[in-house]
Each structure stands twice: as C-alpha cells, then as structure tokens.
C-alpha cells in the first residue's frame, strides 16, 4: 500500500525580508482584531448584565465569599467551579442559591458529628482589588452576601 504524499514544507527562504515583515504586520493586526473583538464581546456582556440588573433586582451583581464545610472544596454550578475561600461576583439569584448550598454543607457536617472538622479551612482575611474597588478585611464572620 502506497503512503500518502506529504504536503510540501513551507520554505521561508523563498520570501524576501520585505514579504516576511509585511506578513508579520498582517499577523499582528489580525491578533489585535481578535483581542479587540473579544474585549468588545466581554464589555457588551457586562453592560447587558448591568441593564438587566436595573430592571430585575435578582440580576444585581453581588460579591459572595465561598465558605463550604471541610468535606467539600468547591461548589459547581452550571459547570463553573467556585472554590472555597474565593470571593466571586455573581448575580443575586445565583448568590442566594450558593448561600443555601454553603449552609447545607455546614448543616450536613454538623449532622454527621463534625467528621471532617480537621479538614475545614476557615477563610482568612482578604484584601480584594476588583471592579468594585478595594474590599479590605473580609472574613467568615462577616456576611457571605454583600450588596
């Protein structure tokens, strides 16, 4: 059985320095366009979320400190992992769901006699610099849900 013919290997020696430089400029422009499009899409999604929040209080964005019991290290919702100790900005409707899940993990832990108490790592103090500015000294004694 005959082997299929290979595609010819590109020979860059056939290109002049000017052609190589022109191609490099075109590649850079193409990358900039892709990045610009991605940034515009991200901005559009954020602005849509803000507009939706004005109309529906359940869509307002809030910060949530993820604090689950020792037997868990994350919450996974719709394929997105929210790791223990993180502070995430999510819509209020999702934050309420997450708060219930976190409460249930601690309730379950108590029901089984604190079997994983040694594995629990209490979230410490954080300084977060994010889109809402600096949030100093957040710890687990403060509210999980801040507007």
| Domain assignment present for 4 | no
Sign for the CA dihedral angle at 113, 119, 125, 129 comes to: negative
| Domain assignment present for 123 | yes
Distances from the Cα of 49 to the Cαs of 7, 46, 57, 91, 103, in angstroms?
A: 48, 5, 11, 9, 27
| Domain assignment present for 5 | no
Say if residue 74 is in the same domain as residue 131.
yes
Q: How much is the pLDDT for 132?
A: 53
What is the average pLDDT score of the chain? Answer: 78
Say if residue 49 is in the same domain as residue 112.
no
| Domain assignment present for 22 | yes
Q: What angle do CA 68, 69, 75 make, to 5 degrees?
A: 35
Q: Which carries the bigger pLDDT value, residue 49 or residue 132?
A: 49
Question: Which residue range forms the structural domain that includes residue 47?
Answer: 16-55
Say if residue 36 is in the same domain as residue 72.
no
Q: Which carries the bigger pLDDT value, residue 54 or residue 39?
A: 39
Q: What are 68-71's contacts with CB under 8 Å, separation 24+?
A: 68/101, 68/102, 68/105, 68/106, 69/105, 69/106, 69/108, 69/109, 69/116, 69/120, 70/109, 70/116, 70/117, 70/118, 70/119, 70/120, 70/121, 71/105, 71/108, 71/109, 71/115, 71/116, 71/119
Say if residue 97 is in the same domain as residue 47.
no
Q: How much is the pLDDT for 35?
A: 95
Percent share of the chain, pLDDT over 90: 25
Condensed to tens digits (0 to 9), the pLDDT of residues 21-33 reads: 999 999 999 999 9
| Domain assignment present for 71 | yes
| Paired strand residues for 126 | 138
Percent share of the chain, pLDDT over 70: 72
Condensed to tens digits (0 to 9), the pLDDT of residues 73-128 reads: 889 998 999 988 888 888 888 889 999 999 998 888 888 887 766 666 666 545 44
Cα-atom radius of gyration of the chain, to the nearest Å?
25
Task: Tally the domains of the chain.
Answer: 2
């Amino acid at each position: 059985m005959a082997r299929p013919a290979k595609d010819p290997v590109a020979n860059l020696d056939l290109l002049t320095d000017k052609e190589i430089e022109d191609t490099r400029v075109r590649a850079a422009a193409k990358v900039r366009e892709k990045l610009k499009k991605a940034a515009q899409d991200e901005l559009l999604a954020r602005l849509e979320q803000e507009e939706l929040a004005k109309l529906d209080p359940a869509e307002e964005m809030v910060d949530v400190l993820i604090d689950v019991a020792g037997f868990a290290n994350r919450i996974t919702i719709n394929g997105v992992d929210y790791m223990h100790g993180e502070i995430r900005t999510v819509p209020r409707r999702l934050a309420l769901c997450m708060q219930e899940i976190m409460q249930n993990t601690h309730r379950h832990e108590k029901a089984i006699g604190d079997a994983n108490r040694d594995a629990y790592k209490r979230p410490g103090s954080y300084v977060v610099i994010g889109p809402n500015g600096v949030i100093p000294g957040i710890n687990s004694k403060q509210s999980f849900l801040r507007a």
